[in-house]
Amino acid sequence: MFSFLKRTKKKAIELHYEGEVYTCKSSETVLDCLERNECHRPSSCRTGVCHSCVMRVKKGEISSISTDGLSAEEKAKGYFLPCVCQPKENLHLSDVDAPTHEVDVLHHEKINERVWRLRLSRPDSFHYQAGQFISVDHAGLVRSYSLASIPSDDFLELHILQVPQGQMSRFLCQEITVGHSLNISDPVGSCFYNVAYMHQPLILIGTGTGLAPLYGIVKDALNQAHQADIYLYHGSLVQKDLYLMRELTRMMDLHDNFHYVPCVLNEEAPEGGLQGNLEAILPQQHDDLSASRLFICGNPEIVQSIQNVCVAKGMPLDAILTDVFA
């Protein structure tokens, strides 16, 4: 009996990192364990979305969920996301050489009561797809922000919502000025336009600064002479929370296949817009979604509920690209 118990006793899992060995508790992720042992690492969303905590496993098996969203090249190098990795065996870990770029603030403008538009210098070696996101690092505080610019722009554009008591957003909206330097990561994310979609209707939906990646994706698709219709629904609670209305209306005047629809929940919508919630508006406006490609960005609950509506209407999950501001 005693020898049976001895044989089945679960072995503690060890994390080997920077010459130290840490014992991981059964409910802990790799990130939890390292932090409990005072190995402070960059992290932000803690749900595997923002990629700011990425590490490399040199020895040991990791779950496939902890490499979700990484490129084949990153996976082949052993990169994984420690915030969603509960180890099942001993792991030998190292840091990745996360490339950082020092950029300067070129433009800093308030574009509605709570949103600022930042333009940053674009580093020479910086290649991205419109709609991807970057991590911004300010004195060790790391947050993700979507790119609203397109690859042919010679600057990088961000739209930042100032959230109450938000550490990074207060810094980016209230404290920095033109000429300030910031550190940013390489771009990540898979929510972007692909020329393979050229003949499919595109439907883009977002609330608040969820407009940032969508704005980049629309401009990219139009630049690449997208052939089918493009519908952009930007939702807000009240009219004054909408932004870039004039620019988007001008884009609509220039492109017959682009339709911009501002949507307001609690007030009358501006001219050309619709009143109501996005989950209801979408099926009312699009009877058949089966041939379309959908992009949904911003607030996690809204992204999820719009995705559910579209799947219930028969849209295949792989035709939906999302960027969740977790």
Ligand X SMILES: Cc1cc2nc3c(=O)[nH]c(=O)nc-3n(C[C@H](O)[C@H](O)[C@H](O)COP(=O)(O)OP(=O)(O)OC[C@H]3O[C@@H](n4cnc5c(N)ncnc54)[C@H](O)[C@@H]3O)c2cc1C
Q: Which residues pair with 137 in a beta bridge?
A: 142, 183
Q: How far is the CB of 190 from ligand X (least distance, A)?
A: 11
Q: How far is the CB of 69 from ligand X (least distance, A)?
A: 10
Amino acid at 157: E
Name the residue nearer to ligand X (CB basis): 15 or 54.
54
Residue 161, Cβ density class (10 Å: 0-12 exposed, 13-18 middle, ≥19 buried): buried
List of residues contacting ligand X (CB under 6 A): 45, 49-50, 133, 143-146, 159-161, 163, 165-169, 209, 212, 323, 325-326
Name the residue nearer to ligand X (CB basis): 160 or 296.
160
Q: How far is the CB of 194 from ligand X (least distance, A)?
A: 19
| Cα dihedral across residues 270, 273, 277, 278: positive or negative | negative
Q: How far is the CB of 22 from ligand X (least distance, A)?
A: 26
Q: How far is the CB of 143 from ligand X (least distance, A)?
A: 4
Name the residue nearer to ligand X (CB basis): 201 or 210.
210
Name the residue nearer to ligand X (CB basis): 79 or 325.
325
Lookup: tokens for 26: 């059964």
DSSP state letters, 259-291: EEEEEESSSPPPTT-EES-HHHHHHHH-S--TT
Q: How far is the CB of 185 from ligand X (least distance, A)?
A: 12
**CA dihedral angle for residue 29, residue 34, residue 37, residue 42, rounded to 10 degrees:** -120
Q: How far is CA 250 from the centre of its chain?
A: 27
Lookup: tokens for 195: 């020329």
Name the residue nearer to ligand X (CB basis): 22 or 116.
116
Q: In the bound complex, which residue of the shown chain has the CB atom lying closest to ligand X?
A: 166
Q: How many CB atoms lie under 10 A from the CB of residue 32?
A: 17
Name the strand (E) or helix (H) holding 131: none
Name the strand (E) or helix (H) holding 107: strand 100-110
- Let me know the angle formed at the C-alpha of 99 by 94 and 103, rounded to the nearest 5 degrees: 145
Name the residue nearer to ligand X (CB basis): 49 or 182.
49
Name the residue nearer to ligand X (CB basis): 91 or 134.
134
Among the listed residues 282, 286, 285, the one whose alpha carbon sits nearest the alpha carbon of residue 296: 282
Q: How far is the CB of 326 from ligand X (least distance, A)?
A: 5
Q: How far is the CB of 135 from ligand X (least distance, A)?
A: 9
Name the residue nearer to ligand X (CB basis): 91 or 173.
173
Amino acid at 151: P
- DSSP, res 123: P
> With b meaning 16 or more CB within 10 Å and e meaning fewer, what string describes 294-305?
bbbbbbeebbee
